[in-house]
Amino acid sequence: MSKADRRNPYTRQQGRSPRKRAMHFKSYEARRKWLSYGHARTKSGLLVRAKKGRKSLFESTPGHTPTFVRGKPVPAKHEH
């Protein structure tokens, strides 16, 4: 383990990241495309609709991913 890894716990390789990574986009259209991909695909990239019982990428990952468009935060609009 290097000195930097000992100093900063967020840079250690431990399977899952200890903090949530933010997604940065150049446009709202790019963010919308990422959202539609995450709802329609599984972690391996297969279509969710092709077989019942598959979970989408967003259903299988915990929590909310912070998103930014051109450096400004964009709040999540969850459908409940």
Which one-letter DSSP state was computed for residue 13? Answer: -
More confident residue, 65 or 24: 24
Dump pLDDT digits (tens) for 7-60.
Answer: 555 555 555 555 668 889 999 999 999 988 888 888 888 888 767 778 888 887
Domain parsing of the chain, residue ranges: 22-39+55-70
Three-class DSSP category at 44? coil
